């Protein structure tokens, strides 16, 4: 996949293309349905398939108090779009000046001049330009003027229940509903960061953990609790008992700390990048009367997690 960071990086000869536009946070099942239609249109017409997205959620500029945490970092989003089979992704810096662009200016500078769009694939609720003043009718009118067609896509719902959205996925992850979130994402929800030094409490209990650094952590951290997860380091993948939260049995543990005990492994992971894919919520974070009681519960957790992951019993 070609990745263009800003309009200036798009080569002059790019296209002609079939294009869609959106935040694509998490690249969930709804997004992938859009991409599948985009690729189908591009293949039929001999066009390059392209996604236009932004370097941040527009709400971070327009209404910071309402801006949610991202499901995926920009790097993760690019990787997911590439895995979905997109030929090219243009990441547009969303700043105050860009937010004030008139709808026609967005169309001419991005879709026409930069990407040479022949087809634009959007949903019925698509909005563009300053204060979302551009709508589907205007896009079609501009398409007639600038020689591109507009194809409409249907909403993707889960069992006819609700439109698949990043908002819904965040709600599920905030509730620890990993399996339902995975269904909407079309993959396991994941986070990644480098492994940092911790307090060594897990090692003292017989369960050494890899502590993910909060700084630079990518992805959306689900609700506090204990989870069955897969941990990937380099090309290796291991089962992991993962805890999220402040571990109330001990004092002074930071909020939303992420620790992963890799099953049957004793590796020096400090400074290495580790990815966690969450499989199932196991239990909430509880305060135990003693470290011994916590260790006993951790043994129970490990056995359950091994069963969930179909990992060999210890």
The predicted structure's pLDDT at residue 129: 94
Do residues 144 and 193 both lie within one domain?
Answer: no
Q: Which of 153, 176, 201 is where one domain is finished?
A: 153
Q: What is the pLDDT of residue 84?
A: 96
Q: Alpha-carbon distance 231 to 267, whole Å?
A: 12
Q: Quick check: 50 and 88 in contact, CB under 8 A?
A: yes
Same domain (yes/no): 207, 132? no
139 and 196 inside one domain: no
Residues 32 and 146 in one domain: yes
Last residue of a domain, one of 97, 131, 153: 153
Let me know whether 246 and 110 are in one domain: no
- Whether 136 and 218 map to the same domain: the answer is no
Q: Residue 174 pLDDT more than 60? A: yes
The enclosing domain of 199 has a CATH number of 2.40.30.30
Binned at pLDDT 50, 70 and 90, residue 247 comes out as: low
Q: What is the pLDDT of residues 21-79, one digit of tens each?
A: 999 999 999 999 999 999 999 999 999 999 999 999 999 999 999 999 999 999 999 99
Look up the CATH number of the domain holding residue 79. Answer: 3.40.50.620
Considering the domain architecture, whether residues 86 and 193 belong to the same structural domain is answered as: no
Q: Please provide the DSSP assignment of the chain as one string.
A: -EEEESGGGS-TT---EEEEE---TT--HHHHHHHHHHHHHHHHHT-EEEEEEESS-THHHH-GGGPPPPSS-HHHHHHHHHHTT-SEEEEE---HHHHT--HHHHIIIIIIIIT-EEEEEEETT--BSGGG-B-HHHHHHHHHHHT-EEEEEPPPBSTTSSB--HHHHHHHHHTT-HHHHHHHHTS--EEEEEEE----HHHHTT---EEEPSTT-BS----SEEEEEEEEETTEEEEEEEEEE--TTSTTPPTTEEEEEETT-----TT-EEEEEEEEEEE-----SSHHHHHHHHHHHHHHHHHHHTPPP-
Same-domain status, 237 and 148: no
From 58-67, 116-125, 259-268, the region with the lowest mean pLDDT? 259-268
Same domain membership, residue 130 and residue 12:
yes
Both 119 and 49 in one domain: the answer is: yes
Q: Is the pLDDT of residue 204 over 70?
A: no
Cα–Cα distance measured from residue 68 to residue 53, given in angstroms and rounded to the nearest whole number: 17
Q: Are residues 80 and 135 in the same domain?
A: yes
Residue 158's pLDDT is 74
225 and 84 fall within a common domain: no
Mean pLDDT of the chain: 91
Q: Which domain holds residue 44?
A: 2-153
Domain count, the chain: 2
């Amino acid at each position: 996949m070609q990745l263009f960071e800003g309009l200036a990086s798009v080569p002059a000869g790019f296209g002609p293309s079939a294009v869609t536009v959106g935040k694509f946070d998490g690249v969930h099942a709804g997004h992938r349905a859009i991409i599948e239609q985009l690729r189908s249109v591009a293949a039929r017409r001999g066009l390059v398939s392209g996604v236009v997205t932004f370097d941040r959620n527009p709400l971070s500029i327009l209404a910071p108090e309402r801006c949610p945490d991202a499901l995926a970092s920009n790097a993760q989003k690019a990787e997911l779009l590439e895995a979905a089979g997109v030929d090219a992704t243009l990441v547009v810096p969303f700043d105050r000046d860009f937010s004030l662009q008139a709808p026609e200016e967005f169309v001419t500078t991005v879709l026409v001049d930069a990407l040479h769009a022949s087809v634009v694939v959007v949903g019925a609720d698509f909005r563009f330009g300053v204060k979302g003043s551009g709508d589907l009718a205007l896009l079609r009118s501009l398409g007639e003027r600038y020689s591109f067609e507009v194809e409409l896509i249907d909403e993707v719902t889960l069992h006819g229940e609700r439109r698949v959205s990043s908002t819904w996925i965040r709600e599920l992850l905030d509730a620890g509903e990993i399996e339902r979130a995975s269904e909407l994402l079309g993959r396991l929800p994941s986070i990644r960061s480098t492994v940092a030094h911790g307090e060594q409490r897990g090692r003292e209990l017989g369960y050494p953990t890899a502590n993910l650094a909060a700084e630079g952590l990518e992805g959306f951290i689900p609700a506090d609790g204990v989870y069955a997860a897969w941990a990937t380091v380099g090309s290796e993948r291991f089962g992991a008992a993962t805890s999220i939260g402040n571990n109330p049995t001990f004092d002074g543990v930071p909020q939303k700390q992420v620790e992963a005990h890799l099953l049957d492994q004793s590796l020096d992971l400090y400074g290495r990048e580790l990815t966690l894919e969450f499989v199932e919520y196991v239990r909430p974070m509880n305060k135990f009367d003693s470290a011994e009681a916590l260790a006993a519960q951790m043994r129970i957790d490990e056995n359950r997690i091994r069963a969930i992951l179909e990992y060999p019993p210890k």
